[in-house]
Chain A
Amino acid sequence: MADEPFPNLVGVSVKQTSEKTEAYNCIAWAFEDNTRWWWPMRGCYWPIKHFRLSIREAFDQAFEGLGWKELPSGQTVGDSTKRIALYEIAGEPTHAARWLGAGVWTSKLGSDIDLQHELGDLDGPLYGSVARIYVKDSSPPV
C-alpha cells in the first residue's frame, strides 16, 4: 500500500511499551530521555549548541559530544554494546531507534507510542531506512 507509513509492520505483532505522548520523541527516547522533545530546532531541546549548523552537522556533533561513534559499515559489535540506529531520507535524519539486545530495538514513534521491533520493521516512506549505527562501548569490536 503506497500510503502505509510502515509497510513492514503490516500484519506483524509488535510490543507496545508506552501510551501516546507528545512529551518526548524518538531522538530523546534513543538517548533514554522521556521528558523532552529533541531536535536541533527552535522550541526543542538539543544537547549542543547548533546555531549555524545544518541538521546533519547538528546530529553528527551531538552524537560525538555525547560519546557515541559511528559504527563502520560491515563491522559488528557484541550484543551488550549500546547502539542507536539513525534512519534517514536523502541524508536527512528522520528517526532513531535504541538497541535493547537480542535483536530487539525500541522506538518512540513521533507523538505516538513506544514499541519494540526489529531493525527493518520501520523502513518505509515515512522514515526511509537505517543509514547509520552509532555505538557507545569501551570494549573492542569483535
Chain B
Amino acid sequence: MVASAPQGNAFRFSTSSSNDARYGGVARWNGSAGTGRYAPYTKDYVALFYENLRRWQSETAFLSDPERIVQHECYKALVEIAPYILDEIVSELNKSSSHLVWVLEDAFGEQPYSDEDSGNMRAMILGWAEWANRRGQVG
C-alpha cells in the first residue's frame, strides 16, 4: 500500500506496507537505520481525518455549490484516506457531517441509495451505513 498524505500537511506517508492495530501499538520498522520509513497506524489516519474534516467544514461552511465544496484540498485528502477509516467516517456521518457521503462516493465509486434519494442526506447516510455493514467493516 502506498498512502500519500495531502500536500501541506505535517504527515507524509510512503511505505510498501502499513501498520495497524494488530501490531499492538508498536510501529513496524520498514527499513534500515537512516533510510527507514514510517508506516502509519490506523490512528494516524484517524487523526489526519479529523484534522482535514474540521478544516474542510470550516472553510466551506457558507458554500452551497458542491463543486466548490469538493474542490477544497482537504476534501481530496479525505477521499484518499477514506478506505482506511471507513468505520470512523460512518460514525461521523451518524453525528452531523452529512457531506461525508460525497467523500465516500468519490473514495469507493459506489452509490448505495436510489437516485430519488439524491440530496436527501438522511437517506444517503442510511444507504452508506448499510453498505458499510454489508462490507463487514462496521459493527
Residues in A lying within 8 Å of B, measured CB to CB: 5, 20-23, 25-28, 35-39, 41-46, 92-96, 108-112, 126
Q: Which residue from B61, B64, B124 sits with its C-beta under 8 Å from A39?
A: B64
Residue numbers in B under 8 Å from A5 (CB-CB): 62
Q: In the bound complex, do residue A44 and residue B118 qualify as a contact, i.e. CB atoms below 8 Å apart?
A: yes
Q: Are B65 and A36 in contact (CB under 8 A)?
A: no
- In the complex, what distance in Å separates the CA atom of A109 from the CA atom of B57? 13
A/B interface sample: 14 pairs, CB < 8 A: A20-B61, A22-B96, A26-B64, A27-B64, A36-B121, A37-B98, A37-B121, A38-B119, A39-B119, A41-B67, A45-B118, A110-B60, A111-B60, A126-B62
* B90-127 interface code vs A (CB 8 A; 1 in, 0 out): 00000011110110010000000000001111101000
Complex contacts, B33 vs chain A, CB 8 Å:
none
Residues on A with C-beta less than 8 A from B24 are: none
Q: Which chain B residues (55-108) contact chain A, with CB distance < 8 Å? A: 57, 60-67, 96-99, 101-102, 105
Q: Which residues on the B side are within 8 Å of A44 (C-beta)?
A: 66, 118-119
Most buried by A among B62, B64, B96: B64
- Do A112 and B98 contact each other (CB < 8 Å), given the known contacts A22-B121, A43-B105, A44-B119? no
Within the complex, what minimum Cβ distance (angstroms) separates A88 from chain B? 11
Q: Contact check, A23 vs B121: say whether CB atoms are below 8 A apart.
A: yes
The one of B62, B63, B118, B122 that contacts A42, using a Cβ cutoff of 8 Å: B118
Contacts of A109 in B (CB 8 A): 61-62
Q: How far is the CA of A70 from the CA of B41 in the complex (A)?
A: 56
